[in-house]
Amino acid sequence: MAVENKYFKLFYRNKYFGLIIVILSVVIIISMNKLLNFIELIPESIKNANHTSDAIVVLTGGSNRLKRGLELLTEKKAKKLFISGVYRGNDVRRLLQVQKHKPTEVVCCIQLGYTATSTAGNALESAIWIRKNNFNSIILVTANYHMPRSLLLFRQIMPKIIVIPHPVFPAKFEPSKWWARPRTVWLITSEFIKYTISSTEWWFKGVWANPNKSNDTS
């Protein structure tokens, strides 16, 4: 016990101790503020339900995403549907069978992307398909907690394309009570970290690509 008190006194008397506490406090406050701002970006409703576009893009990762994408296609919200991040070995008819959707209705209007293994990969894969088809607008379908990062990356990679968010809402995810559910806390924290990394990464890429951009104050 005496040894512990000795080391504690040495650490406490260190001239940098106060500075360390201040820095840590500032970092925590800033991080919490940014986290709360990020939570506000997570949609709680669909604001553009009646919009139409050139195409629908669905990001794999949840069955409700594909189901909603097929519904939008059937409702003629767009003429084409692109599903990004599909496992190799799956095809359109197999996916439609899983979703209990009649292939004859929409099979001609669906294309699959097999290369994406991340959200950035989804954006790149989709951008190639969109450019190839000369589309100008898309409806983006993914989970609501995944939408902020998806929008960030899609708009960074395709700045001239109109991206209309169309979130789906997982049953066990409640952003309004995020602190009360461990799974929701984990999802939000994970997405917040990835969102921060993605935005920082793209900022650095922009500065390196255009060094004068960081000095532009106009």
Render 89-132 in DSSP notation, one character per residue: TB-HHHHHHHTT--HHHHGGGEEEE----SHHHHHHHHHHHHHH
pLDDT over 90 percentage in the chain: 43
Q: pLDDT at position 6, please? A: 56
Q: Which domains does the chain have, with CATH numbers?
A: 55-168 (3.40.50.620)
Q: Can you list the residues of the chain whose pLDDT is less than 70? A: 1-32, 63, 98-105, 175-176, 178-180, 201-218
Question: Nearest 10 degrees: CA dihedral of 107, 141, 174, 189?
Answer: 120
At 80 the pLDDT is 95
pLDDT recorded at residue 73 = 92
Average predicted confidence (pLDDT) for the chain: 80
Q: In this predicted structure, what is the pLDDT of residue 120? A: 92
DSSP H/E element including 38: helix 17-41
For 41, 114, 180, the CA distances from 195, given in Å and listed in that order, are 11, 23, 22
The maximal CA–CA distance of the chain, rounded, in angstroms, is 80
163-190-124 Cα angle (round to 5): 35
Closest to 123 (Cα-Cα) out of 98, 89, 157: 157
Distance CA 147, CA 123 (A): 12
Handedness of CA 161, 189, 120, 94 (dihedral sign): negative
The answer to whether 145 and 190 have CB atoms below 8 angstroms apart is no
Q: What is the pLDDT of residue 180?
A: 67
Give the global pTM: 0.78
